[in-house]
């Protein structure tokens, strides 16, 4: 029987090593590559052509959701299973929209994770049931793409003038987007809006 070929993408070497050790214990799974960021995973997938990629969400060099979309675009036959510490409903929704076949959290038991890999490889969708319920209850992000960009940039604590320069917008436009985002997230201020949106997985 040909084993299911797996690539692991996670910025923490310890996590990658632990996952590799667990999955290699399974006779029908073979870890054929590892990546530590969004750029490297595209390179590793191109070199190894795996069946399934286990993708973390929060990585440098393009987050796992962006990387998922790019992997699926370049290698439509490769399935992606998002495995994350951050079980945020908005992340689940965005990951599935990006083309992921599954979404589970990292404290999933080893046997269940291996089974999730098999099911995704077989063409099924695998989603953490509690997260799926939360995602349905939360609904889509209320933020427009531009409001999301501005709020994401505002995480750095930059001034309105700095945000305007980096986003190539006028200061008035940046203020309008921040004000709209604060209203839509029912936040007290822009830092609170960033927190609410980040916790929901909208950023």
Nearest to 80 by CA among 108, 45, 39, 115: 45
Taking only the tens place, the pLDDT of each residue in 141-161 is: 788 889 999 998 998 888 999
What per-residue confidence (pLDDT) applies to 76? 94
Residues 51 and 110 in one domain: yes
Domain span at residue 173 reads 145-200
Geometric angle at alpha carbon 80, from 203 and 82, rounded to 5° = 45
Q: Please check whether residues 122 and 151 belong to one and the same domain.
A: no
* pLDDT bracket for residue 60 (50, 70, 90): confident
* Token pair for 78: 């490769």
Domain match, 154 and 124 both: no
Q: Confidence class of residue 138 from pLDDT cuts 50, 70 and 90?
A: low
Q: Are residues 40 and 86 in the same domain?
A: yes
One domain, residues 73 and 152:
no
Cα 87 to the center of its chain, rounded Å: 10
In this structure, what token pair is assigned to residue 56? 């973390």
**Domain end call among 137, 163, 178:** 137
Distance CA 104, CA 3 (A): 22
Q: List the CATH number of the domain containing 155.
A: 1.10.10.10
CA-angle at 128, arms to 122 and 134, nearest 5°: 140
Q: Are residues 90 and 161 in the same domain?
A: no
Query: Both 28 and 90 in a single domain?
Result: yes
CATH of residue 93: 3.40.50.2300
Taking the CB of residue 130, how many other CB atoms lie within 10 A of it? 11
| Model confidence pTM above 0.85 | no
């Amino acid at each position: 029987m040909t084993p299911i070929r797996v690539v692991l993408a996670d910025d923490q070497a310890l996590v990658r090593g632990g996952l590799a050790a667990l999955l290699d214990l399974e006779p029908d799974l073979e870890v054929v590559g590892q990546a530590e960021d969004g750029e490297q995973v595209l390179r590793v997938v191109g070199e190894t052509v795996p069946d399934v990629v286990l993708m973390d969400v929060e990585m440098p060099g393009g987050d796992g959701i962006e990387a998922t979309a790019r992997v699926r675009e370049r290698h439509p036959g490769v399935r992606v299973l998002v495995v994350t510490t951050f079980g945020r409903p908005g992340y689940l929704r965005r990951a599935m929209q990006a083309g992921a076949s599954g979404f589970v959290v990292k404290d999933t038991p080893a046997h269940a994770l291996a089974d999730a890999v098999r099911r995704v490889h077989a063409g099924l969708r695998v989603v953490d049931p509690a997260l799926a319920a939360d995602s349905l209850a939360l609904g889509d992000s209320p933020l427009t793409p531009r409001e999301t960009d501005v709020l994401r940039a505002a995480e750095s604590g930059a001034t309105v003038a700095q945000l305007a320069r980096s986003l190539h917008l006028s200061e008035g436009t940046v203020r309008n987007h921040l004000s709209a985002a604060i209203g839509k997230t029912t936040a007290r201020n822009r830092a609170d809006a960033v927190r609410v949106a980040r916790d929901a997985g909208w950023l």
